[in-house]
Amino acid sequence: MQGRKIIQAVLFFLFFIIGAASLSSSILCDDLTQYYQNKQLLRAAQESLARLKSLNADYDVLLERLKEDPNLIIERLAPAALGTKSEDPNTVYPRARSRQLAAARKALMEESNDRSAEASMPQWLRRCSESRNRIMLFVSGVVLVLTSFVCFRPSTS
C-alpha cells in the first residue's frame, strides 16, 4: 500500500511538472522570443560600441602623433589632397575601384546581417512559436495537469 502511494506521488509530480512546463512555454513563447531578439540586439550594439571605442583609440593615437610632429600632416595629406604619388619605397598603395569597395561593403553587411536574432534563438523556441505547435503545447499541458489531478490524487480511504 505504501509503495503504491509513492508511485502515485511520483507520477503526479511527473505529469504535473511536464504539463506545467508545456503550459508555461506555450503562454510565455512571445516573451521568450522577444528576450532572445533583445539579447541579439544588445550583442550587436556592444560589438558596435567596441568597434567605435577601438576607432576612437586609433584616432587619439593619430592625433597625438600629429601634435608631436606637424610635418606628418604634410606627408600624409599632401599626396591625397594634391593627387601626387608618394615616394616611400617601403609602402604599398593599393588602388581600389568603387565597384570593388561597394562589393566588399556589401559582403561585410551581409555577413553582419546573417547573425540575426533568428540565428541565436534556440531551435525548440522557433518550433514552439508556430501557432499550431503552440496550441498543441497548451492543450497537452492542460491535459497532463488535469490527468495528474484526476488520476493521481491522494486517495482518501
Q: What is the pLDDT of residue 111?
A: 65
Mean pLDDT (the chain) is 83
pLDDT above 50: residue 16? yes
The predicted model gives 11-15 an average pLDDT of 91
pLDDT above 70: residue 104? yes
- Whole-angstrom Cα distance, residue 16 to residue 22? 10
Sequence-ordered list of residues with C-beta below 8 angstroms from that of 141, at least 6 positions apart, any chain? 19, 20, 21, 22, 23, 24, 26
pLDDT above 50: residue 39? yes
pLDDT above 50: residue 117? no
Q: What is the DSSP letter of 153?
A: S
Task: Give percent above pLDDT 70 in the chain.
Answer: 78
- Whole-angstrom Cα distance, residue 57 to residue 50? 11
Q: What is the pLDDT of residue 143?
A: 94
Residue 40 CA, distance from chain mean position = 3
Q: What is the pLDDT of residue 35?
A: 92
H-state helical runs in the chain:
2-27, 29-68, 71-82, 98-114, 117-120, 123-128, 131-151
The predicted model gives 45-52 an average pLDDT of 91
Q: Output 135 or 93, whichever has higher pLDDT.
A: 135
Q: What is the pLDDT of residue 154?
A: 67
The predicted model gives 133-151 an average pLDDT of 92
Interval 72-81: pLDDT, tens? 767 766 666 6
The predicted model gives 34-49 an average pLDDT of 91
**Integer CA distances (angstroms), 128 to 25, 34, 153, in order:** 8, 14, 30
Q: What is the pLDDT of residue 53?
A: 94
Q: Does the model's pTM come out above 0.85?
A: no
Sequence-ordered list of residues with C-beta below 8 angstroms from that of 85, at least 6 positions apart, any chain? 79, 93
Nearest to 80 by CA among 93, 69, 90, 68: 93
